Structure 1
Amino acid sequence: MTNNNEKSIDVLQELNQFVNDRIQGYKHAVEVTKDPAHQSYYNDLIKQSQQFSNEINSAIGSMGGSPQNSTTAKGKIFRGWMDVKSTFTGSDEEEIIKSNIFGEEWAQKAYNDALEHKHELPPNVVQMVEKQKQTSLATCERLRQMEKAAD
């Protein structure tokens, strides 16, 4: 495996940890929301995130790397904090949405970090990462609209 492949694999494995955080975050949102429409949307986002993870893992595999199925330590800490917070505040829809917005903003940072290495990534992988980033950005915007409606 070339050094460039190793760097590409590292970048994608790190990105996939954030995508896996996204999956776990929306699974948590499904569990705590009381709004059926929100629950359905969060389930759609879980499926979308699983597809993103599969795409990233496929790219990693094509470069000779091992799939990444773990999450970040920061994501685990954040989900733990949200559990504690919901114990004291209840499952407030606005707080759930705010947490999801925070997660999508965090995902944007992960996509931007990955794209800082786009000169090391194959063009088709850069295209995949950019497409996922745009989808995450659209999700963030929809969540902001949901937050405004919850006010």
Structure 2
Amino acid sequence: MNNNEKAIDVLQELNQFVNDRIEGYEHAAKLTKDPAHQSYYKDLVNQSRQFSSEINSTLSSIGGSTEKGTTAKGKIYRGWMDVKNTVTGRDEESLVKSNIYGEEWAQKAYNDALEHKAELPPQVVQMVEKQKQSSLATCERLRQMENAAD
């Protein structure tokens, strides 16, 4: 497998997680009763769409096909969230906790991608690291929102 093939592989997988992130925050924006949270989740949807766009244009530039799908695990998780919200009554704290879980999962996806750093073109590594930093900042903000909900 040459470096472009490895980069394509890593980016397509990463983009499935980013697409999960889009769907997850769209879902959260619909479920929340807090207007400030809703606005933040919508910002995160836009940020995630930007991430996906960056990944897809990089994929195109190195000869890969773009990735529009989500992970099977993400679909299962969102289904579980629906059931849990029906049972627990959609309280803000559990919604924020779910988003923290999703963001921690995104961190793992970014870390997995960066494990192949040596095999990836420098611009790919830079993009992945930049997105990972944004995801870390989101995680921090969500933890603050969770503490405020306590």
- Kindly report the root-mean-square deviation, in angstroms, between the aligned alpha carbons of the 2 structures: 0.8
* Alignment of 1:42 onto 2:38: no
Distance 2:141 2:26 in 1: 18
* TM-score after normalising by structure 1: 0.98
Aligned residues: 150
Q: What is the alpha-carbon distance in structure 1 between the residues aligned to residue 64 and residue 21 of structure 2?
A: 22
Alpha-carbon deviations, 1:26-72, whole Å to 9, x = none? 00001100000000000000000000000001111111110001000
Give the CA deviation at 1:95: 0.5
Question: Which ranges in structure 1 are unaligned for 5 or more consecutive residues?
Answer: none
Q: Which runs of 4+ in 1 moved over 2 A?
A: none
- AA paired with 1:68? E
Distance of 1:118 and 1:15 partners within structure 2: 14
Of all paired residues, the percent bearing the same amino acid is: 79
Which one-letter code corresponds to 2:70 in the other structure? T
Report the residue type matching 2:54 in the other structure. Answer: E
Q: Deviation per CA, 1:97-119, whole angstroms, max 9, x where unpaired?
A: 00000000000000000000111
2:2 aligned with 1:21, yes or no? no
TM-score, normalising length: structure 2: 0.98
Pairs within 5 Å for 1:1-150: 3-150=2-149
- Following the alignment from structure 1 to structure 2, what is the Cα–Cα distance between the partners of residues 45 and 66? 25
Specify the code of the residue in structure 2 equivalent to 1:44: D
Deviation at 1:148, TM superposition (A): 0.2
Aligned-residue offset at 1:91:
1.2
**C-alpha separation in 2, matches of 1:27 and 1:60:** 24
Contact kept? 2:3, 2:121, Cα under 8 Å:
no
| Deviation of 1:3 (Å) | 2.3
| Distance (whole Å) between structure 2 residues aligned to residue 84 and residue 99 of structure 1 | 13
The gaps in structure 2 that reach 5 residues or longer are: none
Q: How far is the alpha carbon of 1:21 from its aligned partner?
A: 0.3
Q: Distance in 2 between matches of 1:119 and 1:54?
A: 23
Partner SS, residue 67 of structure 2: coil
